[in-house]
Structure 1
Amino acid sequence: MSGLYRLLFTKLQLPSPSAIQGKTILITGANTGLGREAARHALALDASTVILGVRSLSKGEEAKINIESSTGCTDQGKVLVWSIDLESFSSLQAFAAQALRYVEDGGRLDIVIMNAGIASVEYNVTPDGWERGLQVNVLSTALLSLKLLPLLLRTKELEPSSRPHLTILTSDIHKLITFPERTEKAILTSLTNEEQWKSSQRLGGATERYGVTKLMDLFIAIELARLVPRDDLGNPLVIVNAVAPGFCKSDLLTREKAPWVLKLVQALIARTVEEGSKTLLHAVDQGIETHGRWLDNQVVADPGSMVTSPEAVIVREKVWREIVTILRDVDAEVRTEY
């Protein structure tokens, strides 16, 4: 009940314009929902450049026009639309290469918001051979974060007074999962097995597997925070945190065959995406006290035993080792140590 109370009665805030002004912000999944509204907020707060990472370029261009018209900001090059499909490692690598060229050509990257994700209730496997939700929400999120981290570090190196951020979108739904696969020898392989997938959905309910991927996004944020190099005072050179926007009226459920009861609850009590997206901009304005932490309702919160218990720490470290092993096979140049 306390979670519902906070959802309904917490007044969310945007950061001051000075926190965003002049920054280059990259947002994945930015043609719709929370990503698009976060981009709109960023432009209204006078970001110098907003990069929309989108699966469909045509829909991305529509989002760009929508954002520009609502903010009155139509300056050439202010909003960029880049193609990325998180169901394809090769698409992700091309996107990361585009980001690198952008920086090498004189651009910069101050903030990355890893917003893209899916909440599928049907079993599907990507062309890369992984269960669809696992690849999009976990493996691709981890790989893109690792590929973009050096570009954020470059910003810090060139401008020591800057405070680059990498924020990963999560959810409080991870607190409700059963996650029986956590005891398996190869956790990610087990999560891709079709029979195991169906068994988990029956046991934990329609949101079980989505919740597992959101738990792993929290794991990724924690491990990336540990990976980030620090200055002479011990402060991280890039702030990595995780944010839960709360239950929102996004397209996450409408794109998939979610249970009608869940859609009804969403329609009745969920936050608007305009409101929920404020949490994303808030997260990228927070200080080192949020590094490796989870923000819920715009405050650092306890993510629960699935993240903090001694057993959970063992599972997290094992999952991260598996992720790193998989990603090194995908991209031999991915950097997992500093």
Structure 2
Amino acid sequence: MSTLASFKSYLNSQLHVTLPAPTTKFSNQTIIITGANTGLGLEAARHLVRLDAAKVILAVRSLPKGEAAAQDIASTTGRAGVAEAWPLDLSSHASIEAFAARVNREIPRVDVLIANAGVFMTQFETAAEAGGDEMTIAVNVVGHMLLALLLLPRMRETAAEKGRAGVVTFVGSFTHWMTQFPERKAADILGGLNDKGKARMKDRYYVSKLIQLLTVREFANELTKSTKPGKIVTSVINPGFVATQIMRHEGPLFQIYLRVLRKMLARTAEEGSRTLVHGAEGGEETHGQYLDDCKVGSASGFVLSPEAGDTQKQLWRELAAKLEKAHPGIMQNI
């Protein structure tokens, strides 16, 4: 899809599409949602508790905020003890490993991972506890894939035992088509993004969402080739333009502009969260796909181009190397 066609599709979606309210039951399922103390994650968790999930783990950086969110969910759904807050800092490999280890100790069943948390950085900052990667890439790309791979063995066990494919779904963005991604021409793409002198931070969030989409597509290819028991499907969700706080670090003039846009176009967090619940439902037709308006959609023209195929494979090789360095042997989990 061309940039112009994508923009027209985006406007039509925001102005004229009413997303279906979730009705599919998640009975007996255990679901993990990152960044679930506010916005999309909180509202998705609320839906999932309402839809009879057995346990919904709110993976959050601030435990007090997560616990408050769990209490709020309990009071609004009438189901106490289903939502539970656990600490997770996606900018720290040690925190991710500790979270996954706790899951493996305490949770015998994991059906769904919703990788929702994200950062929108306006200034260059490195994640010291994530190998020194630039923060946007560390959280939005590397951290979530590290978490997904660490949880794969438990999710495969669950899928094999229950006879239903596990679901790993990543919250992406329509903004993946808003960048030319010139960094893709570097010999070391991810390494180049750590160069402060060349960093284009106004573009970085969009770049991170494009890289996320490309790497998840290749992750899907790897899962398809795997012969391990227990099927896993993976996808990328576009929730659309939603009134959340992810751009709260932008300057005052941009905030004024953003308030106007929100009034004109934005979905509420509850409306946007319906796309997360749809992604969590899984289904073979969603595997490796970009989900838009609660159905399989079309990614940008670049993503579907032959050039992107080469970039996708290069990014996966680079990401796999990073993940192996952080946790030797992790790629064998696929």
Q: How does 1:2-21 map onto structure 2 within 5 Å?
A: 2-18=9-25, 20-21=26-27
Tell me which residue corresponds to 2:323.
327
Alignment partner, residue 72 of structure 2: 66
Kindly indicate whether the alpha-carbon contact (under 8 Å) linking 1:228 and 1:236 is maintained by their aligned counterparts in 2.
no
**3-state SS of 1:215 partner:** helix
User: How far apart in 2 are the matches of 1:181 and 1:26?
Assistant: 33
Cα distance between partner residues in 2 of 1:295 and 1:315: 21
Q: 1:192 matched to which residue of 2?
A: 194
State the Cα deviation string for residues 65-116 of structure 1 (Å, max 9, x = none): 1111111111x3x22211100111111111111111123xxx3101110001
Deviations 1:234-291 (A, max 9, x none): 9981111111000000111125548232343134321000000000001121410110
Where does residue 218 of structure 1 map in the other structure? 213
Q: SS of the residue aligned with 2:97?
A: helix
User: What does 1:74-223 align with in structure 2 at a 5 Å threshold?
Assistant: 74=80, 76=81, 78-103=82-107, 107-127=108-128, 128-160=131-163, 162-197=164-199, 200-201=200-201, 206=202, 208-223=203-218
> Which of 282, 288, 294 does residue 290 from structure 2 map onto?
294
**Counterpart amino acid of 1:28?**
T
Q: SS of the residue aligned with 1:109?
A: coil
Pairs within 5 Å for 1:224-239? 224-228=219-223, 237-239=231-233
More divergent stretch after superposition (299-308 vs 48-57): 299-308
Query: How far did residue 222 of structure 1 move?
Result: 1.1
- Output one character per residue of 1:132-175: Cα deviation in whole Å (capped at 9) or x when no partner: 10100011111111111222111112122x23211001001111
AA in 2 matched with 1:80: E
> Structure 1: which amino acid aligns with 2:246?
L
Task: Give how far 1:130 is off.
Answer: 1.0
Question: Helix, strand or coil: the match of 1:69?
Answer: helix
> What's the CA shift string for 1:194-252, capped at 9, x where partnerless?
1111xx34xxxx3x1101101111122212212225799x9981111111000000111
For structure 2, the residue ranges without an aligned partner over 5 or more in a row are 1-7
Secondary structure at the counterpart of residue 72 of structure 2? helix
1:310 matched to 2:317: no
CA distance in 1: counterparts of 2:229 and 2:98, whole angstroms: 32
Identity %: 36
CA distance in 1, matches of 2:156, 2:197: 42
Other structure's SS at 2:132 match: coil
Query: 1:17 deviation in Å?
Result: 3.7
TM-score by length of 2: 0.91
Is it true that 1:251 corresponds to 2:245 in the alignment?
yes
State the secondary structure of the residue aligned to 1:168: strand
Calculate the aligned-residue CA RMSD, in Å.
2.0
* Other structure's SS at 1:223 match: helix
Aligned length: 323
Contact 1:324 1:336 survives alignment (8 Å): no
- Cα 1:22–1:230 shift into 2, 3 Å: farther
Measure how far apart 1:300 and its partner are.
Answer: 1.0
Letter in 2 for 1:222: R
1:285 to 263, 281, 303: 281
Looking at structure 1, the residues matched to 92 and 17 of structure 2 have their Cα atoms a distance apart, in angstroms, of 37
Query: 3-state SS of the aligned residue for 1:239?
Result: strand
Going from structure 1 to structure 2, the CA distance change for 1:263 and 1:151 (only over 3 Å counts) comes to farther
Work out the CA distance in 1 between the residues paired with 2:317 and 2:244. Answer: 32
Q: What are the ranges of 5 or more consecutive residues in structure 1 without an aligned counterpart?
A: none
Q: Is the 8 Å Cα contact of residues 58 and 83 (structure 2) preserved in structure 1?
A: yes
Question: 2:45 corresponds to which residue?
Answer: 39
Displacement of 1:336? 4.3
Alpha-carbon separation, structure 2, partners of 1:247 and 1:58:
28
